[in-house]
Amino acid sequence: MKFSLTWLKDYLETDATLAEICDALNAIGLEVEGVEDPAERLAGFRVAHVLTAARHPDADKLQVLTVDAGDGAPLQVVCGAPNARAGMKGVLGLPGATVPASGMVLKKSAIRGIESNGMMCSSRELELGDDHDGIIELPEDAPVGTDFAVYHGSDPVIEVAVTPNRPDCMGVYGIARDLAAKGLGTLKPISMPAFAASGACPVEIRTDDPEGCPAFYGRVVKGVKNGRSPDWLQARLKSAGQRPISLLVDLTNYLMLGFGRPAHVYDLAKLSGAVVARRAQEGEEVMALNGKTYTLDAEMVVIADERQVHDIAGIMGGEDSGVSETTTDVLLEIAYFDPARIGATGRKLGLSSDARTRFERGVDPAFLDQGLDLLTGLIVELAGGKPSEVIRAGSPPSQPKVLAFDPGLTLRLGGVAVPDAEQQRILESLGFSVASDWRVTCPLRRHDIEGPADLVEEVVRIHGLDKVASVTLPRAEGVARPTATPLQKLERGLRRAAAASGLNEAVTWSFLPVWAAEHFAADDQPLWVLANPISEDMKAMRPSLLPGLLMAAKRNADRGAASSRLFEIGRRYFRRSDGLSDERPTLGIVLAGEKTPRGWQSGKARAFDAYDAKALALQLLEAAGAPIANLMVMGEAGAQFHPGQSATLRLGPKMVLARFGMVHPATLKAFDMDGPVAAIELFLDAIPPKKNAVFARPGFTPPALQAVTRDFAFLVPAALAAGDLVRAVQGADKAFITGVRVFDVFAGQGVPEGKKSIALEVTLQPGEASFKDADLKAIAEKVVAAAAKLGGELRG
């Protein structure tokens, strides 16, 4: 909301400076978003009198003027404007002044050999209009030597952000009222131009929808003369950023911007029959003043005559019945509409307007008659005409809210002690009335006041939030207690473990292009797809962390990065059986590009492989506290992975803690990436929490006797998983076998077709007594027997 200082002072008697006013506005919750001070912009431009004008000796189109700018001695100025002539008054820019339109700094100069001490300006040069055909011509009575900014009345313009709860401040008068309450001056009563109304209103007015339009007041004024608005009105509207249109339209805008009160003026000649507020018929159309046609429905309120809709109630008037230069008779409308319905209609039509902004937030229900009289008086004063009596259909809400208020609440809730008398003064200056028992009657315009807390806010914001002192929040005795949940601790620990493993944490969008989300979606899980995405690339909620990381890795590769080792901890978005969101905490990793660059020691660059992924998966699962000794390596990592180079890590057949491996070439192709790329996903929600964890570890003393190792090499079927052999050997003697390590895997020469050789180093830990040969022999036999069950034979 923008307004000039002059406009504010129409309503507020004050000596406060611009800076004081701005500080006060900020302090009471009307945030100043900007101040534009034309006095600064127009510094150095003065009202000047052209004394003489003569042809420039060396240029046909130039004249040499002598100009009185109030400094005594006339100044010589060269001017090219055709309308420059002796006797006229205009605007002179003195050397040192900056021309607003061009930013040029004026200086004393010689034009075609003739000295020039400034510039006579056009409207366009001063950004006061589009006229550039000649220099500005001021009236004869313009005082010579006056700063043009002062003469022009172009005074500072303040822009404030009015919060949606304060439609009463969507008019300059409401802002003046708030400032007066703050002590910045005195609120002037609204000056009402006098007029004599005579005769009943010749037009019938009705509201057929008392719920959507509880009140519709009107009056006819006949014999008006529409035209250009007077300068004072134009200046005020311009300061608010409103283009003057015609007197009648400008006056309704003045009422709206000055008093927060939208109104409408119809050309009576274009109406026929009764003018009625009613629901629109389904599919009914109206061409609004913005030139667009809107199709209405039965939830919307309109103003219509017997032929057609003339107004989308509370939002925008119709093109057909708007006033024009030739309008002579008008119908004035002041109505009260249900705020919720206006909002719903505006949203449905996608139509915003200043009127809607005010109606949907709530205009003052007590300002219908006064608003109509103010508008009528101004029309009669400026456009002439004979007004009829008012005709009223329905009535606006008139039951004020009465709140039982305890002034002690200001201290209890607001944290600041304000004397009762001051609280009463503040409330009354804002239009509340306070009874002796502190029953507070709220002005009808304050739709935002719901309960005592709102009155506390009124008192505190006017009294000053800066007077609220900091008070220590009571804290528990002793050292702060731990607050993190197991999942929070898990995420924090994993994050730092992943970073310590050389991975860079990324944060990628939660939404993906649909194709990318679908590529990673599980068959039985429909995606969450936005109805109103900001772009096609941000449309479907991610079912996996990998696509976002793959896209980041691709961007990096496209920028020439040799490798990306990215991880992210975030949510995957699924659906619960009841359709609600099921968001699962997940760690995703993508390893793309070079694992090691080419080097003098290592030779060629090395890419990541599936064992790199496995190592990271296990290392991070261990950091997460998962029982990694019990994990099974199984298949079904997903269609996005290389079928022969990927696996899942599970606790039991159904409980998948992680998947890892090489990304499927088809997936790389879909993401337009070069491979190989390894990827890992840890499903944090599947990691079982530690049960009954206590600080004390189980008792342990390192064994006194040294462990011994024995090597075994087995010929096994080529398809046998090494992990199965290891597990079988590990289980051959649970008392003594404490470790089994694969140290060689070989197939080819010397190994029969369909077989491979796996060599194991088995660690045996003696208990109380050292092993005897017979013990070792017995264990070795158990190992061989266990391998034999899997088709393994000991190599000679």
DSSP code, position 386: E
Span from 267-275, 308-316, 378-386, 595-603 in contact with other proteins (CB under 8 A): 595-603
Residue from 239, 388, 556, 586 in contact with other proteins (CB under 8 A): 556
Closest CB to other proteins among 32 and 111?
32
Residue from 566, 626, 678, 762 in contact with other proteins (CB under 8 A): 566
Closest CB to other proteins among 592 and 662?
592
CA within 13 Å, CB half, 225: 5
Q: Where are the alpha helices (DSSP H) in 28-139?
A: 38-41
Residue from 553, 647, 673, 728 in contact with other proteins (CB under 8 A): 553
Quick check: 131 and 123 in contact, CB under 8 A? yes
Quick check: 7 and 236 in contact, CB under 8 A? yes
Strand partners of residue 715? 757, 793
Closest CB to other proteins among 371 and 414?
414
The contact pattern for other proteins, residues 315-344, with x = CB under 8 A and - = no contact, is ------------------------xx--xx
- The verdict on 19 binding other proteins (CB under 8 A) reads no
CB of residue 530 to other proteins, shortest distance in Å:
5
The contact pattern for other proteins, residues 228-267, with x = CB under 8 A and - = no contact, is ----------------------------------------
Question: Binding to other proteins (CB under 8 A): which residues in 350-389?
Answer: 360-361
CB of residue 521 to other proteins, shortest distance in Å:
16
User: DSSP states of 736-780 as a string?
Assistant: TEEEEEEEEEE-STTS-TTEEEEEEEEEE---SSPPPHHHHHHHH
What angle separates helix 773-789 from helix 722-730, to the nearest 10 degrees? 140
Q: Hey, is 607 helix, strand or coil?
A: strand
User: DSSP states of 191-202 as a string?
Assistant: P-------S--S
- The verdict on 416 binding other proteins (CB under 8 A) reads yes
Residue from 326, 436, 601, 630 in contact with other proteins (CB under 8 A): 601
Closest CB to other proteins among 212 and 792?
212
Q: Which uninterrupted H or E stretch holds 588? A: strand 581-596
- The verdict on 639 binding other proteins (CB under 8 A) reads no
Q: How far is 752 from 771, CA to CA, in rounded Å?
A: 35
DSSP code, position 690: P
CB of residue 329 to other proteins, shortest distance in Å:
36
Residue from 57, 199, 227, 597 in contact with other proteins (CB under 8 A): 597
Question: Binding to other proteins (CB under 8 A): which residues in 159-198?
Answer: 163-166
- The verdict on 694 binding other proteins (CB under 8 A) reads no
- The verdict on 611 binding other proteins (CB under 8 A) reads no
- The verdict on 109 binding other proteins (CB under 8 A) reads no
- The verdict on 76 binding other proteins (CB under 8 A) reads no
DSSP code, position 245: -
CB of residue 57 to other proteins, shortest distance in Å:
53
CB of residue 557 to other proteins, shortest distance in Å:
11
Closest CB to other proteins among 272 and 581?
581
Question: Binding to other proteins (CB under 8 A): which residues in 449-468?
Answer: 450-451, 453-454, 456-457, 460-461, 465-466, 468
Question: Binding to other proteins (CB under 8 A): which residues in 473-502?
Answer: 473, 475-476, 480-485, 488, 492, 495-502
Task: State both tokens at 8.
Answer: 């504010």
- Strands across the sheet with 89-93, in order? 75-79, 59-68, 45-56, 89-93, 119-120
CB of residue 532 to other proteins, shortest distance in Å:
6
Closest CB to other proteins among 228 and 348?
348
How many Cβ atoms are within 10 Å of 23's Cβ, its own excluded?
15
Quick check: 202 and 220 in contact, CB under 8 A? yes
CA within 13 Å, CB half, 71: 14
Q: How far is CA 663 from CA 493, 547, 612, in A?
A: 27, 11, 13
DSSP code, position 720: S
Give the 3-state secondary structure of 273-316: CCEEEEECCCCCEEEECCCCEEECCCCCEEEECCCCEEEECCCE
CB of residue 315 to other proteins, shortest distance in Å:
14
CB of residue 59 to other proteins, shortest distance in Å:
48
- The verdict on 221 binding other proteins (CB under 8 A) reads no
Strand partners of residue 36? 157
CB of residue 608 to other proteins, shortest distance in Å:
11
Q: How far is 302 from 509, CA to CA, in rounded Å?
A: 44
- The verdict on 277 binding other proteins (CB under 8 A) reads no
Question: Binding to other proteins (CB under 8 A): which residues in 135-164?
Answer: 163-164
The most distant pair of C-alpha atoms in the chain lies apart, rounded to whole Å, by 132
Q: Encode burial over 682-711: b for 16+ CB neighbours within 10 A, e otherwise.
A: bbbebbeeeeeeeeeeeeeeeeeeeeeeee
Query: How many residues interact with other proteins (rule CB under 8 A)?
Result: 102
Closest CB to other proteins among 33 and 40?
33
- The verdict on 596 binding other proteins (CB under 8 A) reads yes
User: DSSP states of 149-176 as a string?
Assistant: HHHHT---EEEEE--TT-GGGSSHHHHH
Closest CB to other proteins among 544 and 564?
564
Q: How far is 339 from 345, CA to CA, in rounded Å?
A: 10
CB of residue 474 to other proteins, shortest distance in Å:
8
Question: Binding to other proteins (CB under 8 A): which residues in 507-546?
Answer: 507-511, 528-534, 538, 541
Closest CB to other proteins among 90 and 585?
585
- The verdict on 439 binding other proteins (CB under 8 A) reads no
Task: State both tokens at 708.
Answer: 């011994």
Residue from 48, 265, 545, 552 in contact with other proteins (CB under 8 A): 552
Task: State both tokens at 609.
Answer: 């492989």
- The verdict on 472 binding other proteins (CB under 8 A) reads yes
